[in-house]
């Protein structure tokens, strides 16, 4: 469902104002409802003394803090100087150690250097230099009948093939880097698209909330106008009733001293002394008209109430339908966004799997060379 209870900055400010007012009210209650403060008051001298003591404590605390701050600054400066001196001495010592190693601890001067000399094979002679090498003997097993005399050509061909393989590996590595950059670019595009979708959904939700607020405001205005109309009608009816009451009182038999009020109910010719006020046909007709008017007014009032209830029900149905349509649209767009994200993630996963396979193939095919091992044991770090 549509979440209408999102905490906005305006809502947080209103909540802060309400909390501040509540705290102020609680403080005011404590001050007013405290009989000691209300009846006796407070000791101004004691308050002044407390304020002076508090001010003195604050000044002492500030002085201690300032002294502590200055001490920390001095300690930091001393520590920085000491650290610079230690770094300088350590650097000088390292330079002296490296200089000593370069002069007196060279690997060429070691007794067992010939055992791990990387150029030992380059310096030593091969077992067979030529076919008529005088070092060759019968038991040396260096020369046989039917030997391949195309060894030099074959070696040259093998070197060319190794160059081709190396160039192919370089091309594959360059292509792998390009594929990696393309994958990173696609991922960045996907992230930007996802952020744009999120912004669109947020704007849509704000628009729905704005429309709902406008519909509520229109309903409140209509309800306020209807209530004002009812109040005016009630005031008019009350005014008419008062006018009728005044008119009846003025034109009544009691003030007009109608002689017919003295006629007895036991006979038309009998008169009583209590000034009986009888009812004439025209008075009954007036009462009947008033009753009919009241009946008509009650009928109009019930029709107005029915109309108000129907308007309220119509507005409620409209608001519910609007919210339902907006919720369906949001769900539809969310499903479409989830589907697009799934497709993009699926494509990205395939691309990453392909890159991983190419990387593993490159790692397996590219073995470690002598240059890789020669980069170690070059310094003290």
**Residue pair 260/253 in contact by the 8 Å Cβ criterion:** yes
Say yes or no: 46 and 21 in one domain. Answer: no
Say yes or no: 28 and 54 in one domain. Answer: no
Cα distances (Å, whole numbers) of residue 288 to 102, 282, 284, 285: 132, 10, 6, 5
β-sheet bridge partners, residue 263: 271
Tell whether 126 is covered by a domain: no
CA 345 to chain centroid: 23
Tell whether 214 is covered by a domain: no
> Using 50, 70 and 90 to split pLDDT, how confident is the model at 5?
very low
Q: What is the rounded distance in angstroms from the CA atom of residue 323 to the CA atom of residue 327?
A: 6
Neighbours of 348 (CB within 10 A): 14
Domain boundary among 64, 86, 106: 106
Tell whether 85 is covered by a domain: yes
Which contacts of 290-294 are long-range, i.e. CB under 8 A and separated by 24 or more positions? 290/244
Q: What's the pLDDT at 3?
A: 46
Q: Tell me how many domains the chain contains.
A: 2
Q: What is the rounded distance in angstroms from the CA atom of residue 117 to the CA atom of residue 124?
A: 11
> What is the rounded average pLDDT of the residues 291-313?
88
**Residue pair 172/358 in contact by the 8 Å Cβ criterion:** yes
Say yes or no: 102 and 63 in one domain. Answer: yes
> Using 50, 70 and 90 to split pLDDT, how confident is the model at 78?
very high
Range of the domain at 90: 42-106
Say yes or no: 55 and 99 in one domain. Answer: yes
**Residue pair 105/98 in contact by the 8 Å Cβ criterion:** no
Q: Between these two residues, 71 and 366, which has the higher pLDDT value?
A: 71
Q: What's the pLDDT at 278?
A: 54
Instruction: Tabulate helix, strand, coil % of the chain (nearest 5).
Output: 80, 0, 20
> Using 50, 70 and 90 to split pLDDT, how confident is the model at 43?
low
Domain boundary among 106, 132, 154: 106
> Using 50, 70 and 90 to split pLDDT, how confident is the model at 40?
low
Tell whether 58 is covered by a domain: yes
Give whichever of 75-84, 183-192, 253-262, 334-343 has the largest mean pLDDT.
75-84
Judge whether residue 294 has pLDDT over 70: yes
The label of the residue with tokens 């209408």 reads 4
Tell whether 237 is covered by a domain: no
Tell whether 22 is covered by a domain: yes
Q: What is the rounded distance in angstroms from the CA atom of residue 160 to the CA atom of residue 176?
A: 24
Q: What is the rounded distance in angstroms from the CA atom of residue 204 to the CA atom of residue 202?
A: 5
Instruction: Find the largest Cα–Cα distance for the chain.
Output: 182
Q: What is the rounded distance in angstroms from the CA atom of residue 200 to the CA atom of residue 207?
A: 10
Q: What's the pLDDT at 373?
A: 64
Tell whether 178 is covered by a domain: no
> What is the rounded average pLDDT of the residues 92-110?
87
Q: To the nearest whole number, what is the mean pLDDT of the chain?
A: 79
Say yes or no: 16 and 63 in one domain. Answer: no
> Using 50, 70 and 90 to split pLDDT, how confident is the model at 91?
very high
Neighbours of 304 (CB within 10 A): 14
Domain boundary among 76, 106, 136: 106
Tell whether 273 is covered by a domain: no
What separation, in Å, do the N-terminal and C-terminal C-alpha atoms of the chain show?
62
Say yes or no: 78 and 30 in one domain. Answer: no
Instruction: Map 131-196 to HEC letters.
Output: CCCCCCCHHHCCCCCCCCCCHHHHHHHHHHHHHHHHHHHHHHHHHHHHHHHHHHHHHHHHHHHHHH
CB crowding 151-178: b at 16 or more within 10 Å, else e? eeeeeeeeeeeeeeeeeeeeeeeeebee
Q: What's the pLDDT at 219?
A: 84
Judge whether residue 311 has pLDDT over 50: yes
- In percent, the amount of the chain with pLDDT more than 70 equals 78
pLDDT in tens, 319-351: 888 888 888 888 888 888 888 888 888 888 888
């Amino acid at each position: 469902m549509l979440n209408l209870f999102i905490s906005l900055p305006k809502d947080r400010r209103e909540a802060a104002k309400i909390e501040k007012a509540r705290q102020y009210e609680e403080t005011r209650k404590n001050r007013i409802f405290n009989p000691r403060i209300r009846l006796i008051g407070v000791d101004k001298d004691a308050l002044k003394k407390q304020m002076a003591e508090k001010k003195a404590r604050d000044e002492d605390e500030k002085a201690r803090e300032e002294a502590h701050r200055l001490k920390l600054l001095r300690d930091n400066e001393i520590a920085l100087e000491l650290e610079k001196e230690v770094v300088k001495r350590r650097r000088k010592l390292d330079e002296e150690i490296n200089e000593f190693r370069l002069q007196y601890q060279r690997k060429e001067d070691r007794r067992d250097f010939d055992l791990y000399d990387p150029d030992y094979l380059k310096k030593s002679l091969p077992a067979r230099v030529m076919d008529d090498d005088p070092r060759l003997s019968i038991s040396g097993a260096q020369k046989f009948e039917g030997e391949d005399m195309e060894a030099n050509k074959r070696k040259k061909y093998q070197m060319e093939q190794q160059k081709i393989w190396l160039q192919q590996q370089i091309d594959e590595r360059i292509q792998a880097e390009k594929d990696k950059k393309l994958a990173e670019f696609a991922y960045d595009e996907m992230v930007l698209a996802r952020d744009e979708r999120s912004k669109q959904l947020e704007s849509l939700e704000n628009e729905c909330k704005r429309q709902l607020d406008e519909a509520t405001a229109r309903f409140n205005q209509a309800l306020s106008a209807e209530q004002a109309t009812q109040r005016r009608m009630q005031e008019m009816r009350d005014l008419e009733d008062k006018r009728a009451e005044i008119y009846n009182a003025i034109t009544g038999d009691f003030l007009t001293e109608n002689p017919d009020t003295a006629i007895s109910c036991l006979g038309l010719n009998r008169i009583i002394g209590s000034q009986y006020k009888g009812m004439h046909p025209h008075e009954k007709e007036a009462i009947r008209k008033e009753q009919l008017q009241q009946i008509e007014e009650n009928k109009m009032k019930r029709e107005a109430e029915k109309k108000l209830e129907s308007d309220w029900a119509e507005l409620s149905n409209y608001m519910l339908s609007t919210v339902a349509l907006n919720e369906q649209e949001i769900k539809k767009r969310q499903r479409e966004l989830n589907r697009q994200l799934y497709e993009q993630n699926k494509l990205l996963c395939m691309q990453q799997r392909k890159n991983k396979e190419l990387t593993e193939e490159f790692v397996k095919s590219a073995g470690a060379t002598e240059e890789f091992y020669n980069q170690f044991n070059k310094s003290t770090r």
